Amino acid sequence: MYIEQAFKSKNNVWRYILGTIVTIVAMFAGQLPLAIAVIFKIGITGDFSAMDEATMMSALNSNLTFFFLLLSFAIALGALLFLVKNLHRQSLTQLTTSRKKIDWSRFWFSFGLIVILNVTLILVDFFFISPENYVLNFNLIPFLILTAIAIVMVPLQTSFEEYFFRGYLMQGIGIKTGYRWIPLVITSVVFGGLHYWNPEVTQMGDLVMVSYIGTGFMLGIMTLMDEGLELPLGFHAANNLVAALLVTAYWTAFNTESILRDVSSPVAGWDVWVSVLVIYPLILLIYAKKYHWKNWGNRLFGKVERPVVNQTYRGNDIEDLSEIKEDY
């Protein structure tokens, strides 16, 4: 079982508290390069007190801003993986999956499915439903630079969020509370809640938080039902890459040199509920059919139990056949 992988590592409560604090500090430290770049661009004598965040961000070109925004996630990911290896003595495989090795075919299936779905929905809207909401934004050189940045940095950003929320916190909270639904709820709500400061919420209203929290629940359900992070990693990377490369808007977190630009001024409405209550369940159904998910009740709401140590006896000797470390 995926959550139970944490029993094979050093899993004291203080280690998870320390690891969480250090990871958050690393995230904030990763924002310093952007602040320094803005300071140098505007000039030391600039009146920063009179500038809002948008004005300061516009001091750099969009590709450079995009790179620095994602850099903080890359630094936080490096810090998290360092802590997992050295503080918890846990392997990357155990943090990623309950399988003996990471199943990359699952990642690529999930990635491909979401790319096809998102691109199809955007193009249908562009050509048939609301063409007036889009303008062509394609500029070859800036787009090629964006593509290079996105291919490298976006998977680092999405991997950090998955490894931290659906991996590190899911496992840590799960083995300490003893129930699978508790980390599912906590990580999903916190994940969604942290998006409250995204510009999309300012533009579309608080109702859009239903989508963010709903996305957290969907990714958490994927993790628990499939006993690993491969599907969420693929989903998240595909979703954000399409958002960065295909369509952007002035009111989105990813304001990039994408192919299309959304010039509408949307407000969250019934479409939010369609995504959470219709599209997300259909996506889960596709995964469930392909990977033969069963026993939903136990996998989502069952107890998290310490694995039993298997032993065989040879005369007076005891041979430990488990992979559980002595200090779990």
d(CA 16, CA 177): 13
**pLDDT category, 53, cuts 50, 70, 90?**
low
46-60, 95-109, 146-160, 211-225: which range is least confident on average? Answer: 46-60
The separation between CA 189 and the C-alpha centre of its own chain, rounded to angstroms, equals: 13
CB 134 within 8 A of CB 260: yes
pLDDT at 322 over 80: no
Give the angle 158-163-166 at the CA atoms, nearest 5°: 100
CA distance 215 to 165: 12
**What pLDDT is recorded for position 38?**
84
pLDDT tens figures, 158-183:
999 999 999 999 999 999 999 999 99
Structure letter (DSSP) for residue 306: P
Q: How confident is the model at residue 312 (pLDDT cuts 50, 70, 90)?
A: very low
Structure token pair of residue 47? 């009146």
Q: In this structure, how many other beta carbons lie within 10 angstroms of the beta carbon of residue 145? A: 18
Q: What is the average pLDDT across 136-140?
A: 96
Q: Which of 287, 275, 246 is nearest to 110 (CA)?
A: 287
| pLDDT tens-digit readout, 254-306 | 889 999 999 999 899 999 999 999 999 999 999 999 999 999 999 999 999 98
With the CA atoms of 318, 322, 325 and 328 taken in that order, what torsion angle do they form, in degrees rounded to the nearest 10? -100
Mean pLDDT of the chain: 90
Helices (H) and strands (E) in the chain, counts: 15, 5
| pTM confidence score | 0.91
Question: Residue 106, exposed/middle/buried by CB under 10 A (0-12, 13-18, 19+)?
Answer: buried
Q: Is the pLDDT of residue 44 over 90?
A: no
Nearest to 4 by CA among 225, 175, 247, 202: 175
Q: Per-residue DSSP letters for 91-159? A: -HHHHHBSSSS--HHHHHHHHHHHHHHHHHHHHHIIIII-GGGEEE---HHHHHHHHHHHHHHHHHHHH
What percentage of residues in the chain have a pLDDT greater than 90?
Answer: 80
Place of tokens 């840590």: 172
- pLDDT for the residue numbered 29: 96
